[in-house]
Structures are given as structure tokens and as C-alpha cells.
Structure 1
Amino acid sequence: MSAQSAPLFGNVSRSRTPAQQLRDLLQRNPDEMLLMPCCYDGLSAKLVERAGFELTFMSGFSVAGSKGLPDTGLLSYEEMRQRVTEITSVISIPLIADADGGYGNAINVKRTIHGYAAAGAAGLLLEDQVLPKRCGHTRGKAVVSREEAISRMQAAVDARDAGSDIVIIGRTDAAACVSFEEALERARIFLELGADMTFVEAPRSERELAMYCESVGGMKLVNCLEGGDTPILPPQRLEELGFKLAAYPLSLLSSSIKAMEVTLAALRSGDPAGVEPHLVPFEDVRSIVGFDEYDKQQQRYKV
């Protein structure tokens, strides 16, 4: 994929809403699966777009990690909404954002839908975990009753249909907490209620991935977390199974941690020259963060 530059402040003159942009992508080719690297701040999102990907996802795990915190429900609705605004203001591609369990009861869910849509999110992921939630590939998580999960999803659909257009992905963690059959049933119910897509978290085998695709209609998302519970299959195989989106939630956060640790070790060694092989050239850093576009715009308003 070739690098491409993005406007300094994203595409603020969209002719279509972010949700419409995302739906166009999803409907472009029914059999096509889209790869979706996950970002966690403005810089990582710009890099995803620069690499040529057509959409990105704001990973809750990675946002928490960027603050030096575990993904255990410590971040508030407002912290997450602000991060959505930070990201959508500097990219032109659609952003799907992690909305955890909606940050409270059904009324909180409606507020989250309205807030995320107003912040520029094209879509969001709403889950059925008990609050405070945990990363789906860790132990100790629990899900709400089926009735409460239905209440959350109904509130989300009502808010979307009331004018806050956004693509809703219904996530269930019931496979690990109740049974895989319960997870499949909840996914089917989410679709019946009006969710645009479903996501069954942490299938443990290719067979379970296939069962999900065979028994649940509509569009489906698969989570490709390196080192997690779900096997990492080649994109072509995931597409054959029937998935629409393949999310890579920790690839950028994990690789950035490794790169920083390697660089810090080189600095600690007392040999500054040893740092150079791990760095992007300064002119590229300046371009990526927006100096070139800033200088070009500044010329227009030069006094």
C-alpha cells in the first residue's frame, strides 16, 4: 500500500455523513471483507489512513493502554467521546468507535449514540458485558441478562432512528460467560432489533468461527487479537467464512510499545548512534504530523 497524505484537519467538507460513507463501503461488494487496523489516537489513525486502509476502529483496549491503564472500564464516556473527536478531526476515512456497554443504563446508551454520532463516528460497537467491563480476551468478565442486553440494543436503535445516524455493531461476550449457543442467539436477537452488524467475541476455534457465520445472518465482524483466544486466520479464509470486517485491535499499540522499548534500550546503552536505525526520518515525521499541510495553508493567509 502506498502512503498518502491526509488534510491537516481531516475532511471537514464531506458530501456524505460518516455513517453514509461507512455504509457505502460495507455495501460496495457483498462478498468483500475489509481489513480494519485499530487506532487509539489522532496519530495512529492518520497512519492507518496514510497506509491506504479505507476505515479504522478506535480500540477501547488501546485507548486505555495509551493512557497507561488496563482495559477494565476505567475510562468514562466523556474521555472516550473526546478521543473520538480527536481522531475524526484529523482523518477522512470512517471511524468505528468502541462504546463498551453504553456507560450506564438504556438512557445512557442513547446519550452515547447521540454523542458519538455528533463527534463524527461513523459507527460504534455496543456490548453486553456487566459494567465495568473488561477486555474480551481476559478472565473475570461477565455479561448482563439477555433482557438487559435487549434493552441496551433497543435504546441504541431508537437513538439511531431518531436522527443520530450511526452504524451499530452489536457485540456479545456470552460465549465465554454463558455458552457459545447463547452468544449466537444474542447475535441473532441484535439483528432482529435493528443492529447493522454483529460481533461474537472470542470464538476459540475455526469451527466456532464457521458456526457463527453459518447460523447468524447479516454482516459480521471478527476480532484478530494476536495472542488472544481466537485463532488468527488469513484474511482470504475469513472472507471465505463470510466475515465483513476483520479488526486488528492491538497490532498498532503492541508494535509501538516494542518500537519504543527498543529505542529506549538503545538510548540507555549510551550510544545515541544506535537509535538511528529505529527512527523515521525527521522530514517524514514532520510530514506525517502535518507540518507540510500547515505551511501550505499558512501561505494562503500570509500577512
Structure 2
Amino acid sequence: MPSPADTLRTLLAQDKLHVMPCCYDALSAKLIEQADFDLTFMSGFAASASRIGQPDLGLMSYSEVLDQARNIADAVSIPIIADGDEGYGNAMNVRRTVAGFAKAGAAAVMIEDQLAPKRCGHTPGKAVVSRQEACDRIRAAVDARADGADILILARTDARHEHELGEAIERARMFKELGADILFVEAPKTVAEMETICRELPGPKMANIVEGGVTPDLSHKDLQEIGYAIAAYPLTLMASAMRAMVGTLERLKLDQDRTPDLMSFADLRDRIGFNKYYEVSERYDTSRRDK
């Protein structure tokens, strides 16, 4: 069986856009796989909200994020990309972060150039470290891969917010030269900026589509024609789930009919894995088999 990293490498070698809904826990990842998507990303924003009920402002620790990624990787067979934030410290911390996510089963890990504590890419107050420190992070990540971590490096820059597009592109170009596998220039504001990113940077690029965010929400066809290899949708599932839950809670409070918005109990059990469990467990039920 190919490793998760090898599976992702094979996907990226295809001349197509990979649509990537982002997960936040094992169940959301299973639903993504059941819907026949090729890969998923553990959104730091959504994972922080789901696991600790707090905003994505650097409040989750490395061990908490790693544990969340491990649970997700254990639940699905499609490759997952983990959010490694700024690496949780200096370059040596970055090396540990990359190695840890590889052992947890992630196919790739994202390392970014924000100041700690990091912020969501589409919220105010972002700032980035110097070019040198940003490159040191990616160099450390690549070194961890070279030392045996079977994982791809997704290098992210948020420099567009503070230093305009030219600086972001230059940083991403340097990340690629250092050995990053996938490039991610966060939060371009126009289609023209997205076209410039894909035209000027080599290798696979990722677009991050936040509904209501600053990046244009283009069709899959347009994103592929521009030149993106991956289109990430970090909050689509969480926003959908939260809206449904809030509405259902309100109807429950008012004693109104809530069944139209509920998945059937049979489908719920099947998607979680009850039926598969029963099917496999029957192999070991000797008392029933002998009758």
C-alpha cells in the first residue's frame, strides 16, 4: 500500500483541480471520504472551534492539534493535510512538528510565516515574521522530511496582508527553492492576483476559499483554468453544520417539527460505521455461527 504522502504525490501529478472540503474531526473526515472526495485538510479554524470551543488564535497546543490529526488519519483512508501553524516555536520546534504529523499519518503539513500567536487568514491583525525567519521554518520542515519524515510540505505565506502581493510571491518562490512541495499564498483579493500567483510560481498551488472571505469564490472550472491544483474549503462543513444545529435547537425549544432537517437514524448509524462493525464482528461470533 502506498503511504499517505505517496498517495498525495500521485494526486498532485494529475493535471486537474482537486476540490478539498476541510474537516475538523474524525466524523467530518469520514463524511468527506464517503462523498468521494480525494483528500481533506484539517482546518485549524474549525478544529479549534470543535475541540476547545475557541477561536483559531493560537490557543490549541501542538499536542492537541497532533491528537486531532491522528484521530482523523485513523478514521479515513484518503490523504489528510494537517495545519501545523507556525510550527509551534523556533526551527527546531518546526522539525518536531513535521516529524510528529508524519508519524500521526498526515500526508502533508502546512507551515506558515505568521507571527505567533497566528490568526485566521481572513481575519484582522495578521503579521508575518521576516523573510529569513520564514525561510528558516521551511528549511527546517524540509530537513525533517529529508531525515525520514514521509510527508509533503505545504508552505504558506500571509505576507499579502501586510506587504502586498509582490512580497508574498517572492516568499513563496523562496519556499519552493528550499524544497516545499505545495505553495499557498493566502488571501489574494482579486481574480487578477490569483492569476498572477499561478503564473509566476512553479509547482502545485492551493487556493483557500472562505465563503464571505476576501478571496473571490470562483467556480471549480475557473480555479482550474487559473492554475490551482487544490481548492480548499476550510469552513464550508462547519458553517453548514452550525447553522443546522442552531436552527434545530431553536425548533426543539419551541416544540416544532425538527425531523425534516435530521438525517434518518438508519443513515446515521450506517455512516458512523455501525453496520460495518456488525458485519465484521459476525466473523468472531462462534455461538451464532455454530447454530
Normalised-by-shorter TM-score class: over 0.9
- Give CA deviations for 1:199-230 in whole Å, capped at 9, x if unaligned: 00000000100111111111100001000010
Give yes or no for the alignment of 1:297 onto 2:283.
Answer: no
2:16 maps to a residue whose letter is E
Identity between Structure 1 and Structure 2 (%): 52
SS at match of 1:37: strand
Counterpart-to-counterpart distance in 2, 1:103 and 1:284: 40
Aligned to 2:271: 288
CA shift for structure 1 position 297: 1.6
Q: 2:42 aligns with which of 46, 58, 72?
A: 58
Counterpart-to-counterpart distance in 1, 2:238 and 2:136: 33
Counterpart-to-counterpart distance in 2, 1:90 and 1:152: 30
Counterpart-to-counterpart distance in 1, 2:96 and 2:205: 25
Give yes or no for the alignment of 1:26 onto 2:12.
Answer: yes
In the alignment, structure 1 segments of 5+ residues that lack a partner are 1-14
1:287 maps to a residue whose letter is D
For residues 142-161 of structure 1, the aligned pairs below 5 Å read 142-161=127-146
SS at match of 1:179: helix
Q: 2:31 aligns with which of 42, 47, 58?
A: 47
Runs of 4 or more consecutive aligned structure 1 residues displaced over 4 Å after TM superposition? none
- Give CA deviations for 1:119-177 in whole Å, capped at 9, x if unaligned: 00001111000011000101111100000001000000000011101111100000001
CA shift for structure 1 position 105: 0.4
Give yes or no for the alignment of 1:276 onto 2:285.
Answer: no
In the alignment, structure 2 segments of 5+ residues that lack a partner are 287-291
SS at match of 2:133: helix
Aligned to 1:104: 89
For residues 1-303 of structure 1, the aligned pairs below 5 Å read 15-27=1-13, 29=14, 31-66=15-50, 67-271=52-256, 274-303=257-286
Aligned to 1:9: none
TM, length-normalised to structure 1: 0.93
1:57 maps to a residue whose letter is F
Aligned to 1:6: none
CA shift for structure 1 position 191: 0.2
2:6 maps to a residue whose letter is Q
The count of aligned residue pairs is: 285
| Two-structure CA RMSD over aligned residues (Å) | 0.7
- Give CA deviations for 1:39-71 in whole Å, capped at 9, x if unaligned: 000000000000010100000000011131101
More helix by share: 2
Aligned to 2:289: none
SS at match of 1:203: coil
CA shift for structure 1 position 178: 1.5
2:5 maps to a residue whose letter is A
Counterpart-to-counterpart distance in 2, 1:302 and 1:108: 48
